[in-house]
């Protein structure tokens, strides 16, 4: 295993444009459940209904009931977020792309995160698109939700929705930048993502087509495993070892 981690380190220091792509798996070490692990949210909830714009507009209560358990202020970054921050600060990683909506990369001190699915840290009105001042605050929204009320716009009464991308919605503006970053990437390190959610799941394919390399650290198998220069299973031990190599 240590040999494979050393190989990963060698790939990182020899890359010109190393990009990291993260998924919900990296935040399981912080206590946030992912979707597709054995005890992920799919085992208990119909995730495609909770995070679905059609269902939300008809009845947002199911989503807000789930969101009660997802108060991002409660969670702290783990060794994976922290080592990624070190790699970025050493200039070894050019860009971080995340599918996560939990803001743990930012909390760990990483900069310029491209959030592929938005984040739970901003809110807007689905009717007038305004971002009313009082709703631009997670703690305030959570206080409404924890009282079993539905947040509504202070200007027009429309439904308030977090700035995360639901199933059935377009990708956020960050996607244009993500495409550019991927086109210039010669090493893509995919961490804790099942690579099942498109269009993000296409990104490793683009890097491979451009003759770049990919690395995968993920417990479950992914569609790209056989194309990976390095494939490791366990995030915690990999990043603890990488941390030792770095220091």
Ligand X SMILES: NC(=O)c1ccc[n+]([C@@H]2O[C@H](COP(=O)([O-])OP(=O)(O)OC[C@H]3O[C@@H](n4cnc5c(N)ncnc54)[C@H](O)[C@@H]3O)[C@@H](O)[C@H]2O)c1
Q: Which of 97, 83, 100 is nearest to 18 (CA)?
A: 97
Active-site choice (117, 161, 213, 231) = 117
Q: Which residue is nearest to ligand X (CB)?
A: 25
Site for ligand X in 117-136 (CB under 6 A): 117
Cβ nearer to Zn ion, comparing 155 with 183: 155
Name the one range near ligand X by CB under 6 A: 123-131, 144-152, 178-186, 232-240: 232-240
Instruction: Say if residues 101 and 115 touch (Cβ distance below 8 Å).
Output: yes
Name the one range near ligand X by CB under 6 A: 12-20, 100-108, 142-150, 177-185: 100-108
Sheet holding 213-217, edge to edge: 113-115, 95-98, 18-22, 187-191, 213-217, 230-232
Rule CB under 6 A: say whether 235 interacts with ligand X. Answer: yes
Cβ nearer to ligand X, comparing 10 with 234: 234
| Residue 125, contacted partner among ligand X, Zn ion, none, CB below 5-8 A by kind | Zn ion
Shortest distance, position 29 Cβ to ligand X, whole Å: 6
Q: How far apart are CA 97 and CA 1, in angstroms?
A: 26
* 129, 131, 135, 141 alpha-carbon torsion, rounded to 10°: 50
- C-alpha to C-alpha distances, 15 to 12, 168, 186, nearest whole angstrom: 5, 36, 6
Rule CB under 5 A: say whether 152 interacts with Zn ion. Answer: no
What residues act catalytically? Answer: 117
Interface residues with Zn ion (CB under 5 A)? 125, 127-128, 130, 153, 155-156, 158
């Amino acid at each position: 295993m240590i040999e494979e981690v050393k190989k990963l380190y060698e790939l990182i220091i020899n890359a010109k444009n190393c990009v990291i792509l993260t998924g919900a798996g990296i935040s399981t070490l912080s206590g946030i459940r992912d979707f597709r692990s054995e005890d992920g949210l799919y085992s208990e909830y119909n995730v495609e209904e909770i995070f679905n714009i059609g269902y939300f507009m008809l009845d947002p209560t199911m989503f807000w009931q789930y969101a009660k358990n997802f108060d991002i202020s409660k969670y702290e970054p783990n060794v994976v977020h922290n080592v990624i921050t070190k790699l970025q600060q050493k200039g070894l990683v050019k860009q971080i792309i995340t599918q996560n909506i939990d803001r743990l990369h930012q909390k760990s001190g990483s900069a310029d995160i491209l959030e592929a699915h938005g984040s739970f840290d901003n809110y807007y009105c689905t009717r007038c698109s305004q971002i009313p001042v009082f709703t631009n605050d997670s703690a305030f929204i959570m206080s409404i939700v924890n009282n079993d009320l539905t947040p509504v716009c202070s200007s027009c009464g429309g439904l308030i929705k977090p700035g995360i991308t639901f199933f059935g919605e377009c990708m956020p503006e960050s996607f244009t930048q993500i495409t550019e970053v991927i086109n210039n990437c010669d090493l893509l390190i995919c961490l804790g993502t099942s690579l099942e959610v498109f269009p993000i799941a296409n990104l490793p394919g683009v890097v491979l087509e451009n003759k770049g390399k990919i690395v995968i650290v993920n417990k479950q198998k992914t569609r790209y495993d056989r194309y990976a220069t390095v494939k490791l299973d366990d995030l915690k031990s990999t990043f603890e070892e990488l941390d030792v190599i770095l220091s």
